Structure 1
């Protein structure tokens, strides 16, 4: 790399993993280009989703922001982790486990992405650019990336010193290096939705749901039924986030997304089934949610390798995981921070050493968290022996988020954050 210019990274994918990696690398002095196929930044679409940020992710994000207080203002605390069983006949909930020392904050995807995106220097993102291919130079000092400008059809080439695959669980870059890789279908999909009640704060639905879930605004609720479970919590700006997991045969995934918009008939059938399982207060929230959608839940067996020469995987491209431990976003942010610190430590002249250390730090953690999330989902969906009506004490312990492997672990390379 020439000493008179900055090293350059090309990041494919502009979701949370991509924008986080861009911030981490910009903070080390690298030039960064992000290729994102969508045409423009998100404008707050109601089909976004809620997510939970752990204390380490909050610290990392705060270190990237010139105004860290903005993160506090766009999230709300989750101080309680509660698992409860739903009696579908009597339509009542009974607490199984309750941890009042939970230390997360809840965010809406669009709010978090906008906060991170606005912290970047201008012109880092190339919107409406579809990644096509990459080629590593013989001396491994550079990588050439071809992309299509979707608006014009023009093919462009960008040359950088590092290619970062942040292109999600269906990563085409990963597929090039692991051609036989296949995602593993979990056995269930998830109905998701966010109810905006800002204009109906005193409605019967909101009054009733606050009575049924008295710790809304600070609690992460997991409701367990027979062979199913749901997740429920509040978001900033008077929104309620809900997820309902339903055992189903594997669907046929179309295109490059595991998210699907649904028809009105599908929504009506979902609501009819929800009435059989959940308490009416939760069902009413589902009924009043605009544009609920489906996520097909996949993960993968842990990878043995997450970099090749000067190409590296981050986020769901590196470790597709089911969402039951709230790890996908947190793992992506941690990937970005560790990658940035490794590159800062070794310098751009020793990029391979930096990527080797990144891999050595992240692989053991992601392996255990992916497999733990898989087991937790199977337990809650009745795919492992578990009776929520009469669980063993050790089963209840396993349900708690604080028992995730490496739950409070901070890599030493991040001690300065």
Structure 2
């Protein structure tokens, strides 16, 4: 079978791969996107797009479509696990957009995926192309797919997620289990008569666990996180939990939490993993983007947003360096992105511990810090890679 020659091959047709392809096109460069699925199906019910992601999507001309499909939360609230007392309350909506220069959207992953794919060229999106091998050549990278077809690419971007085949070509590290796991669900809003402020993003914080929920369309998306189990049986993925395991874990929590978690059938239990940032994000003409480079825990809601940031920066670096300047492009991209990605990874890990504190003096200190939005959140949401390409916080501001 003949080998196809392409200039830029993007492996992965998810949020990161399609955003990168669109960002490259905006700078006059065309890519070919290869996706292993035979149809675009985003895993997960919803995604939170903060200002650091939405500002980039707006610049790609997608703002109106995404805004029409999204819900803008009214507030960000933190609540006590048992009493329901609001520990911290920050307005979102227009106040958030004014503060950070772009909106906060709660949106179905399928809607985001559809908007990105419709903006891309279907002739340059190759479905059913599962990557099986990556080999360096003097003039490019040979990509071998499971269907036997091959592609020789001048440049390869691995946007193929936490189990990235491109990453295996660059780095041998594997995902690290966090010692926490979660249950997910999507509940119709009208099934939650007791839910206070249903249009707010809310964290319920308590000993050994927390619950995050926010509105998406006419539903409320939730993630309930628990400490444990101590070990996970395999790398990433999920396991079937015992019947009633989720409700039993939160049996002593506020009635609103129990109403939310009990409103839909229990999901599988998902292990929460992070992927250590490799020493180098590139090898030869291949480079990593998004979860393939720095998968992180979900407690700052930044996985998709950091991927979108990566795409904007990498597109600029490739365009600035020119067709044969991949070494300088990749080096610059890594210098700009690696410190920030590691800082957000660390903050997400530490935030998990902070949200699971038992009542007491340490939790009181956390609560006081949560009342100061800019102190621990501004460095993440306010980031703009166009004006401040390498933004990391002072150590004290990395987490609550």
The TM tier, using the shorter chain, reads 0.7 to 0.9
* Pick aligned residue for 1:70 from 54, 65, 68: 65
Partner in structure 1 of residue 334 of structure 2:
359
- Is 2:170 the counterpart of 1:177? yes
* Pick aligned residue for 2:144 from 125, 143, 146: 146
Instruction: Show CA shifts across 1:250-274 (max 9, x none).
Output: 22236xxx343646xx353322333
SS in structure 1 opposite 2:72? strand
- Is 2:192 the counterpart of 1:194? no
Contact 2:180/2:271 (CA < 8 Å) preserved in 1? yes
* Pick aligned residue for 2:246 from 250, 262, 270: 270
Deviation at 1:93, TM superposition (A): 0.5
SS in structure 2 opposite 1:31? coil
* Pick aligned residue for 1:60 from 56, 77, 82: 56
Partner in structure 2 of residue 409 of structure 1:
383
Q: Which runs of 5+ in 2 are unaligned?
A: 98-103, 390-400
SS in structure 1 opposite 2:84? strand
- Is 2:149 the counterpart of 1:156? yes
Pick closer, same or farther for the CA change 1:147–1:277 going to 2, 3 Å. farther
Q: Which runs of 5+ in 1 are unaligned?
A: 1-5, 149-153
- Is 2:223 the counterpart of 1:243? yes
Deviation at 1:72, TM superposition (A): 0.6
- Counterparts of 1:15-414 in structure 2, within 5 Å, are 15-42=14-41, 48-65=44-61, 68-87=63-82, 92-100=83-91, 101-103=95-97, 104-138=104-138, 141-148=139-146, 154-179=147-172, 181-197=173-189, 201=190, 205-209=191-195, 213-214=196-197, 216-217=198-199, 219-236=200-217, 238-248=218-228, 249-253=230-234, 258-260=236-238, 262=240, 266-274=242-250, 276-289=251-264, 292-382=267-357, 387=359, 391-393=363-365, 396-397=368-369, 402=374, 403-404=376-377, 405-412=379-386
| Residues in 2 aligned to 1:307 and 1:399: alpha-carbon distance in whole angstroms | 40
Contact 1:162/1:311 (CA < 8 Å) preserved in 2? yes
Q: TM-score, normalised by structure 2?
A: 0.85
Give the RMSD, CA atoms, in angstroms: 2.5
| Residues in 2 aligned to 1:247 and 1:391: alpha-carbon distance in whole angstroms | 17
| Residues in 1 aligned to 2:207 and 2:274: alpha-carbon distance in whole angstroms | 23
Deviation at 1:170, TM superposition (A): 2.3
| Residues in 1 aligned to 2:264 and 2:7: alpha-carbon distance in whole angstroms | 43
Instruction: Show CA shifts across 1:353-410 (max 9, x none).
Output: 221111111011111111111111122234xxx6368733355415876414444122
- Count of aligned positions: 373
Q: TM-score, normalised by structure 1?
A: 0.82
Partner in structure 2 of residue 151 of structure 1:
none
